[in-house]
Structure 1
Amino acid sequence: MDAQTQAPKQGDAKREQGAKRARLYRMKTPTHLCPFGLKTLDLLKRQGFEVEDHPLTSREEIDAFKARENVKTTPQVYINDERIGGYEALRQHLGLHVPDPNAKTYRPVLTIFAIAFLIGLVVSWVAEGTLFAPRLPEYAIATAMVLLGLQKLQDVERFSTMFLNYDLLAQRQVRYGYVYPYAETLAGLLMLAGTLIWVAAPVALFIGTVGAVSVFKAVYIDKRELKCACVGGNTNVPLGFVSLTENLVMIAMGLWMPLRMLMA
């Protein structure tokens, strides 16, 4: 009988040793539910931790916790009574990737190009009954122009400031930086609709040519390392090949659309 009762106790001890336990203190007041607290709780559970969750439900509780633990922010995670820190500190502790907010990335502009291509497929299917219609490249590129213009239009002031770092025409005529987002969006919409090409094509050709020359000079002649304003003024997209490609594609559309209209 003793041996039978001893075995479960040993099993319980092994399970205790193998259990991953964590304590979490996070803000959860009637007026604010901390998103990083929720992300931290979710991450701990997904990593197999048994979480002792301590919501801080008032400003008094939050201030008292910060004073007691000598910390400035919440959430705070403790594993084996060792303070790990907040959400990003927990990710680092677990060996997970921690995004660098200042790191250069092409993801914003590549995402727009990918979504533009998918929208192009949809438009192609609806307009012509097939995914890969002859006009698919036009639909995708025109959509990309609209989406890129939309990004800039969210904060024209910030875009124009970043744009002045490298655009040759904007440096001579500052107001051009304010006009550019509207011109790009208008040209994209008209090309997508296949109408008023005599307006859309010259606009795309003009802004594409100025942009291509400006990017080429800044990157390949002056060797400057700058952020691109192509997806608005609040990103870390490097000025370079992708930015140049965007402008070259606009030039191609500005030349192709009138030519196609003449051949039709």
Structure 2
Amino acid sequence: MVMPDHLCPFGLKTKSLLEREGYEVEDHPLRTREETDAFQKEHGVSTTPQVFIEGERIGGYEETRAFFDRPLPKEDETTYRPVITIFAVAALMALGLSWSFFGNVFTLRAFEWFIAISMTILGIQKLQDVESFSTMFLNYDLLARREVRYAYIYPYGETLAGVLMVAGALIWIAAPVALFIGTIGAISVFKAVYIDKRELKCACVGGGSNVPLGFVSLTENLMMILMGLWMPIRMWMG
């Protein structure tokens, strides 16, 4: 569909996919609603685009990807990609800051920044939809189950602690917050996964994620515990 107020993104994706696979594409844009309705009626379909290879109808974007053995991931498919992306970007940002400030990427401050930036980004993920996060969080967090309001406060606490630790400011606030929520979180995750053997989704990247509760969630909490203990020591050492 190529209309004045709408350019079909799936049409562009499908055309690009076919070209990457080495096909010469004969494109037939549908420029009006009437053309689109007539095309769908003619071929007995309800969506566009529709791909035909050597006269055989393959289907739309998803079917074309499947034809080339490139299926889209299922909505409920387990994936670690969101967490890997966050940690990778946080690491690159920390190394960049270390290089900018100290002329060396491998510094103790880079490691501190990595954890603090990771906390901040993870907090942002949760803050996008606190209601959805709280619903998922209540599945396993022990304190939130006793005091539901804690599930709504948690994202703000994590983000605040992360931002303050990035700045190296007000550590007397950031450290206790990180230590508290990290400890409760670690205990909750350990109990749910390793004692109760429950298979749950992690709320670490916000509600509705398909990241499994387990090692990654425990790592997030252990990092907060580490920073909650280390930052006051570092500030005291000067």
With structure 1 as the length reference, what TM-score do the two structures score? 0.87
Residues 27-63 of structure 1: per-residue CA shift (max 9 Å, x gap): 1111111111100011111212121111111111111
Aligned to 2:24: 50
1:164 equivalenced with 2:138 (yes/no): yes
Aligned to 2:56: 82
Aligned to 1:183: 157
Among candidates 210, 218, 221, match of residue 247 of structure 1: 221
Does 1 or 2 have the higher relative contact order (CA < 8 Å, sep 6+)?
2
Aligned to 1:16: none
Aligned to 1:232: 206
Shift of 1:68: 1.1
Shift of 1:150: 0.7
Paired letter, 2:94: G
1:206 equivalenced with 2:180 (yes/no): yes
- More strand per residue: 1 or 2? 1
Distance 2:100 2:17 in 1: 42
Residues 159-181 of structure 1: per-residue CA shift (max 9 Å, x gap): 11111111111111111111111
Contiguous gaps of at least 5 residues in structure 1: 1-26
C-alpha RMSD of the superposition: 1.1
Aligned to 1:148: 122
**Counterpart of 1:195 in 2: which secondary structure?**
coil
Paired letter, 2:85: T
Paired letter, 2:173: V
Residues 100-124 of structure 1: per-residue CA shift (max 9 Å, x gap): 2221011101110111111111111
With structure 2 as the length reference, what TM-score do the two structures score? 0.97
Shift of 1:250: 0.5
Q: Sequence identity, in percent?
A: 68
Paired letter, 1:76: Q
Paired letter, 1:93: F
Aligned to 1:95: 69
Residues 208-260 of structure 1: per-residue CA shift (max 9 Å, x gap): 00110111111111111111110111321110101001101100110111111
Aligned to 1:38: 12
**Structure exhibiting the larger radius of gyration computed from Cα positions:** 1
Paired letter, 2:213: L
Distance 2:18 2:109 in 1: 49
Matches within 5 A, 1:55-134: 55-134=29-108
Number of aligned pairs?
238
Paired letter, 1:53: D
Contiguous gaps of at least 5 residues in structure 2: none
